[in-house]
Amino acid sequence: GQFYGDVLYFWTEARAGWAHSDPRPLYFWGYFVGLNGIWLVVPALLLADAWRQLAAAQRHLDRPRGKSR
């Protein structure tokens, strides 16, 4: 949901020709891109961590077990 909201936020502003954005570089890159970009980076890192943990758990479960006889 967070990715969808951020993509929609950036995409609609880009389609409007950045009309609602302050053209000053510090504001645009620091606030609009930088601070809003955090909300893309943090969920991406959390998803990557969850993916690694799930893959490790699946590899553990898929290991062949010794014969029981």
In the chain, domain spans = 1-61
The predicted model gives 8-20 an average pLDDT of 89
Find out whether 3 and 40 touch, Cβ atoms under 8 Å: yes
Neighbours of 32 (CB within 10 A): 17
**CA nearest neighbour of 31 among 20, 43, 17:** 20
pLDDT digits (tens, 9 = 90+) for 18-68: 888 888 889 889 988 899 899 899 989 999 999 999 999 999 999 988 765
What is the pLDDT, as a whole number, of residue 18?
A: 86
What is the pLDDT, as a whole number, of residue 68?
A: 57
What is the pLDDT, as a whole number, of residue 69?
A: 52
